[in-house]
Amino acid sequence: MGYQHALEGYIAATNTHEFDEVSKWLSPDAVYWFTGTSCTTLNEIRTYFENAWETVKDEVYRAEDVMWITTGEEQAVCIYTYHWKGIYQGEPASGKGRATNVFVAGINGEWKLIHEHLSTGG
């Protein structure tokens, strides 16, 4: 499983709206930076995801213009424009922003997300 597959799997898992699926793609040491907040434990990350899914119903998340800016045997970093759409306060809504994802290869060669930084705009 390569880092590209890990990104694709992570995004697909995000769109299940089930954190147990998302967590399969995360390093136990994952750190998330979002606009206005940071999550440094898996429980904090879970809470953030579940609150987002509760706030934006039926959200669909996708990545465009993915660029792998560094890759190696044990780490890979990509940047992309993220897009989301769903139902916010009963109305259709959408948005986009910039993302940076850092993946690391584990002991078994499985790639896991160790850092995500999302910011609005872009």
Q: Does domain 3-120 have CATH number 3.10.450.50?
A: yes
Tokens 């793609």 found at: 25
- Eight-state DSSP code of residue 35: T
Task: Tell me how far apart the alpha carbons of residues 58 and 8 are, in angstroms, rounded to a whole number.
Answer: 19
Domain ranges of the chain: 3-120
pLDDT band for position 88 (50/70/90)? very high
Tell me: the pLDDT tens digits for 102-120?
Answer: 999 987 889 999 999 999 8
How much is the pLDDT for 109?
85
pLDDT category of residue 122 using cuts at 50, 70 and 90: low
How much is the mean pLDDT over the chain?
A: 95
Distances (CA, A) of 2 to 23, 62, 71, 102: 17, 19, 11, 13
pLDDT in tens, 14-49: 999 999 999 999 999 999 998 889 999 999 999 999
